[in-house]
Amino acid sequence: MEVAYYQDRFLSSTDELAIPIQERGHQFGDGIYEVVRVYNQKPFMMEDHLKRFERSADAIMLQLPYSREEMKAIILDGIQRSGLDNVDVYFQVTRGIAPRIHLFPDTPAVFSMIIRPARELAPEKKQNGVPVLMLEDERWANCYIKSLNLLPNVLAKQHAFKNGCEEAILVKDGFVTEGSSSNLFVVKDEILYTTPATKGILHGITRKAVLQLANTLKIQVKEEHFSPSFLKAADEAFITSTTAEILPINKVDDVLLPTDHTVTKQLQQAFQSLK
């Protein structure tokens, strides 16, 4: 069962019309969002998601309509209403409903949420890996903000899909940044590399979990910038996200990567223990 929430109430169904035409999120993409994975009715790293949500709100000068505890209560209520054990929770806040002008309106922000069955990747993808396509990173400078403005990400993902790839890996000023909807890790000589958490990438929650697991497993980590050629010469590579978890890469453009995935599998197994 899918569950929807908009502006202080649960809706009768996800098909119920709710968003006014002069909604800032609809007209400007003026808002932020998060996606939380729920395993066996337990939200995974929800506190980290909510902290990042608050940081994104601060970054765009948006006053959240609820406290962290109030948002938690709404999310947990929605999970229970769904009657499902494993779900994806999408929630967002926009700057509200007002006549369309660029300046911030004096209106209350609006919280909305949808809960649906968790999207599961095919087991063979998690086992064997997926192909990716490298593209120019055409996004704005503040990708650490989880903004509703995702058109460059959508275009990159669609371009990758049309070329038979699972994800687009983005490159800016000669260095790899991240995926269109994921963070990227590379293994070379048993060292785990990932782009530093600057303003230019999303500070992924699954990325954070992987770094913590690497520390536990005594895997050396280097957070530093690397080139497309370094990625193509990797011993292993994988992407991370809330919905994909830890997903190996088996091909970058036309270059096949090794399929041993030893470190990746270690991290995948360790990640399962966190759920």
b (16+ CB within 10 A) / e for 100-120: eeeeeeeeebbbbbbbbebee
Give me the residue label for tokens 């998601």: 49
Domain 123-272 in the same topology as domain 3-117? no
123-272: what fold?
D-amino Acid Aminotransferase; Chain A, domain 2 (3.20.10)
Amino acid at 59: A
Q: What are the pLDDT digits (tens) for 105-133?
A: 999 999 999 999 999 899 999 999 999 99
Do the beta carbons of residue 83 and residue 38 sit within 8 Å?
no
Question: What are the structure tokens assigned to 114, written together?
Answer: 């949808």
Q: In the chain, where does DSSP find H-type helix?
A: 24-28, 46-59, 68-82, 123-128, 151-162, 205-216, 228-232, 262-272
Q: How many other C-beta atoms are found inside a 10 Å radius of the C-beta of residue 141?
A: 10
Beta-bridged to residue 220, according to DSSP, are: 191
> How much is the pLDDT for 17?
84
List the CATH code of the domain at 3-117. Answer: 3.30.470.10
- In this structure, are strands 191-194 and 42-43 parallel, antiparallel, or unpaired? unpaired
Q: What is the pLDDT of residue 1?
A: 84
The domains of the chain are located at 3-117, 123-272
Percent of the chain with pLDDT over 90: 96
Average pLDDT in the 193-203 region?
98
- pLDDT over threshold 90, residue 142: yes
> How is residue 37 written in tokens?
């994975």
Mean pLDDT of the chain: 97
Which are the catalytic amino acids?
Answer: 146
